[in-house]
Structure 1
Amino acid sequence: MRTTPRRLLAAMAALTTALLASACGGGDDGGGRAASGELTMMVPLFGTAPDPKGEVHQAVEKVVGKKLKITWVPNAEYGDKTNVVLASDDIPQVMVVQGKTAAFVQAAQAGAFWELTDKLDRYPNLKAKSEQAELNASINGKVFGIYRVRPLLRSAVLYRKDWLDRLGLKVPETVDELYEVAKAFTEKDPDGNGEKDTYGLIIPKWPTPVFCSASPYNVIETWFGAPNCYGDRGGRLVPAFDTEEFYTANRWLKKMVDEGLVNPDFATLDSGKWNDPFVQGKGGIIIDVNVRATQLYGLLKEQDPDGYGDKLAMGGNLKRSDGQKFSYPFDGYNGFLAVSKQSVRTEAELDEVLKALDRLATKEGQTLLANGIEGRNFKLENGYDVPIDDDDPAVKTINNDVDFAFVQLGTWATIGMGVYESMPTSEAERENLRLRKELAELDLQTAVHNPALPIVSPTYVSRGATLDPIVSDARVKYLAGEITEEQLRAEVKRWYDSGGAQVVAEITDLRAELGAGGN
């Protein structure tokens, strides 16, 4: 359920009415586009909008075989713009949809977008890369877009390697070993300065109040055997916080907080400054995604160009005390490309659009979107992407257009996981890339998937903004010692009484209709 945001819900009734009207009627202008040589799109933008006459735009048009008319919307405004466009009578042929928002779910169910459930297998480059990820991206089992691939397993634990080495410790494999490392990082002067000024685990204030949001709390709870957001308990889906494993995990973490093994400002530390204590030598453990290693290497290199490679170690998901392992997976997708029924009126027009997107999803197309133009802004060395002429203004423009704009159209390649990975600048970074893949493959075997991801509860759509903070806030207060476990359990009951019981009933019933198994 964590991919269903909670914005602008008050406008949904009016929006649905508008969508039904715009999906089923309207002028002929939009329908004529699909048969023409033009493809209209709306795409989020993170930098400067590309010039339609620029090298990358022209190259993408050549691959697609159509003229592109792209509306670039700054990412900070994209959610609001999406809602406005969905309620209008001018929806572009293809939209990047960033998640199963309330507006998009209601739009799709009102018939504003093509259902692609049984259509994508006809297009070799649009076929699902992962059945699990495609299911996760669906709305009650129906596919309304071409999902943008992300790794299904990327959770990891990052450590100050120099601290481990100085104290004669190894990368932990169990939660008990993690506790011991955190304790040693706090009490045994791992930086050798003769002062007790370090701690083990670094946790920031999580930016979203959703109770299952890939936070360190969720990862730890899964290690202890709690479900990933929702889990099957006797044929009924229940939220993770309604299991005893949830409380066991949080008692363990609270012990660490009480003993000073966690940063004292865990309830307020800005998530944008998560790296700072690690790099500054204040804290030594981060539980997050494996690609955070790239950020940390870059920061450590600025601080110590010669010795930075010896300051970072990485491990995978941890076993609990009895040796059982439960690994935390991710959704496997990050939004999707949806095709409008308002602008693409017939099956023949849909086929034209999907063929164009299929060409964009070739190796050639995805390389262009995620790496750029070979020979202009990058070259290949031993299968790696190596930058060319970074100081050339024309090359800087290409890099901007790729890194901050066109990469958003990548369906299986993106920055950080392009067709070609960036050339590691040291042996330590090269080894880390190898280790990421090894740990991800290993942990995927014990991944605990969220069986509720494909399911959209109407009550959650309408009440999620009220429900989500109840348990997530109470969990932080419990860890900080502001409330007792009994009071935490009372907040779980309040979640049920505030609409959570209806959410659970709806997703359980919808899951039964889908005939889906659970974890």
Structure 2
Amino acid sequence: MERKRCAALLLSLALTAGTLAACAEKSEPRQGAEGQPDSTPLEVTIATPQVGEAPKKDSEVELAIEKYTNAKVDIQWIPAAAFEDKKNIMIASDEMPKAFKLTYNATTLNAIQSGLFWEIGPYLNEYKNLSDANPMYYDNIKVEGKLYGLPLYRDIGRAGIVYRKDWFDALGLKPPVTLDDWYNIAKTIAEKDPDQNGQNDTYGLFMDRSYNDTALSSSFLTRLSVSQGAPNKWGIENGKVVAEFMTKPYQDSMKLLRRLYAEKLINQDFSVVQTADADNKWNSGKAGIRINTVASAAATSYDNVSKSVPNAAVDIAPYMGPSGNRVPAEPGNNGFFVFPKSSVKDEMELKRLLGFFDQLLEPEMSTLLTRGFEGKHFEKTPDGKAKFKDLTLFNLEVKPYRDSLPSFEVTGTGLPLQLNELQAKGWKVVADNLQNAVPNVALTLTSKTYMEKGAELDTLIRDAQTKYIMGKIDDAGWEAELERWKKAGGDQVMEEFTAEYGKQKK
């Protein structure tokens, strides 16, 4: 979701396959790199992980894309389990497609730093739809301050508090703002028997072992602490990069969880519970707040719990804190497309390829990728929105393209999806969050020490946090573990991140 789009869901005409073809005919000839007409179909070869069942070559969707963009598209769908190995072979042999979907990891970083791919940042402003996207989408995949890829856009500010409104209303509770609010909610729901079954079996929040996952900005402890003023994984204090768990708001949030654990107001087995088990606790009507979800899925959370508790009422609220709405920014992509110099021969071809991806964000293509064909996959409602007619068929025929090509599912320029009240409220929280999303300052920074010792350091600090919350170590013990983390390489990581951060700011 980008600033220029999330103020309103733009209305565009629903398009049948015939209309798509007609629009494509009107839009020819395409413009070349220097603004000259170029009617020669653009060859677009793409390699991407397979999503579901791989579509057949020359599928109806693919033909519509080709017609509209004046391109010849050849997508190589690689089974997800084999993709990393296949990717490494293709990079090593320098035999790559014109658009290659990668994820941000060490192999990708090395390939980019080796000069294998075109830098696209200087061209972005030439393309209306690509340049309209929130800059954070691009900042999150830059390498040494330069942009080499087009992201598969995903929501950046997804955090939201999904809660049992019927319980909150009955107990006189409101969505939390302060840490004291979180404590009071957990205590009240645990002790006041909101489901009125006479048993001590309800939780304000039911945690699982991913609560402090160091790799995820969506982990609960990061969401909670960021709302209270902490950085998102890594932040800046006194000009230096510091880890979130070295800051007071984060440590205060840990102290809250320690208190809740000591008073048996959260599940005592949180350190071993799987996410699916936590989801089941919500689904069975035993949790007051669902912490392992995203705001846009509020309606799904309602559907899940209503199967067990038909009279349940569910609502969604933003994460709030002393400074208002504040959430951790998530990476904002499901990988990104790079353009190899070995297969994209010159600047003119690169610009045409960028033009192809820019066109995929136009209303006609956005409707196709996110809704499918009118009459087949969706129907148009009286108020001019899309309502899925056959979601199973959409998932089979269209979803692989939607998930593998750049698109904005709800906030794009395509035909708006008909949303119920809770869905609309959830998406509004996501849109509003974008203005208050706190970036992870080290997301695109490199640290040799972290690459070598990151897994070991992450495990050390995660274990220390769990021990502290469970009361196995006290404040002094936590400080000792923090010092151990620093000496084991944490100090060096922060120094290297700080140096890289300084370079990018120059």
The 1-side partners of 2:246 and 2:345 are apart by 46
Which letter maps to 1:354? L
Which among 68, 90, 114 is matched to residue 73 of structure 2? Answer: 68
Offset from partner CA, 1:209-248 (integer Å, 9 cap, x none): 5265320011112123221111211111111112233222
Structure 2 equivalent of residue 84 of structure 1: 89
Query: How far apart are 1:315 and its partner, in Å?
Result: 1.5
- Deviation (angstroms), 1:198: 1.2
* Equivalent residue letter for 1:401: E
* Corresponding residue of 1:316: 318
The one-letter code matched in structure 1 to 2:316 is M
Task: Give the equivalent residue in structure 1 for 2:377.
Answer: 377
The answer for unaligned runs of 5 or more in structure 2 is 1-39
Within-5 A mapping of 1:451-490: 451-490=441-480
Tell me by how many angstroms 1:418 deviates: 8.4
Paired position in structure 2 for 1:355: 355
What SS is found at the alignment partner of 2:93?
Answer: coil
Instruction: Note the C-alpha offset of 1:128.
Output: 4.9
Hey, what's the Cα distance between the residues in 2 that align with 1:315 and 1:487?
A: 36
**TM-score, normalisation: structure 1:** 0.82
Partner of 1:400: 396
Aligned residues: 465
Bigger mean CA deviation after superposition, 311-320 or 451-460:
451-460
Distance (whole Å) between structure 2 residues aligned to residue 418 and residue 187 of structure 1: 48
Give 2:145's aligned residue. 141
* 2:14 aligned residue: none
Q: Which residue of 1 aligns with 2:409?
A: 414
> Is the Cα contact below 8 Å between 1:147 and 1:334 reproduced in 2?
yes
Tell me if 1:296 matches 2:307. Answer: no
- Cα contact 2:366–2:407 (8 A) shared by 1: yes
Residues 135-164 of structure 1 show CA distances to partners (whole Å, capped at 9, x for unaligned) of: 122122110101222333221111112211
Which residue of 1 is the match for residue 10 of structure 2? none
Q: Which moved more, 1:498-507 or 1:205-214?
A: 205-214
Q: Is the alpha carbon distance of 1:243 and 1:168 closer, same or farther for their aligned partners in structure 2, counting shifts above 3 Å?
A: closer
Which residue is equivalent to 1:280?
A: 284
CA distance in 2, matches of 1:442, 1:387: 26
Q: Percent identity?
A: 32
- Secondary structure at the aligned position of 1:291 is classed as helix
Shift of the 356–223 alpha-carbon distance from structure 1 to 2, 3 Å rule, reads: closer
Q: Contact (CA 8 Å) 1:200, 1:263: kept in 2 or not?
A: no
In structure 1, the gaps of 5 or more residues are 1-34, 391-395, 425-429
DSSP-derived class of the 2:210 partner: coil
Counterpart of 2:320, as a letter, is L
Q: 2:155 aligns with which of 141, 146, 151?
A: 151
Structure 1 residue 187 corresponds to structure 2 residue 191: yes
Instruction: Name the structure 2 match of 1:386.
Output: 387
Matched, 1:509 2:499: yes
Task: Select the residue among 485, 497, 501 that pairs with 2:487.
Answer: 497
Matched residue, 1:94: 99
Q: Distance in 2 between matches of 1:168 and 1:440?
A: 26
For the residue of structure 2 that corresponds to 1:57, the secondary structure is: helix
Task: Provide TM-score, normalisation by structure 2.
Answer: 0.84
- CA drift of 1:261 comes to 1.8
8 Å Cα contact 2:227-2:320 kept in structure 1: yes
Kept in 2: contact 1:209–1:473 (CA 8 A): no
Q: Give the 5 Å matches for 1:105-184.
A: 105-184=109-188
Cα distance change on mapping 1:387 and 1:326 into 2, 3 Å: closer
8 A contact 1:205–1:269 mirrored in 2 = yes
Equivalent-residue separation in structure 2 for 1:213 and 1:40 (angstroms): 33
Query: What is the rounded CA distance, in whole Å, between the counterparts of 1:281 and 1:319 in structure 2?
Result: 27
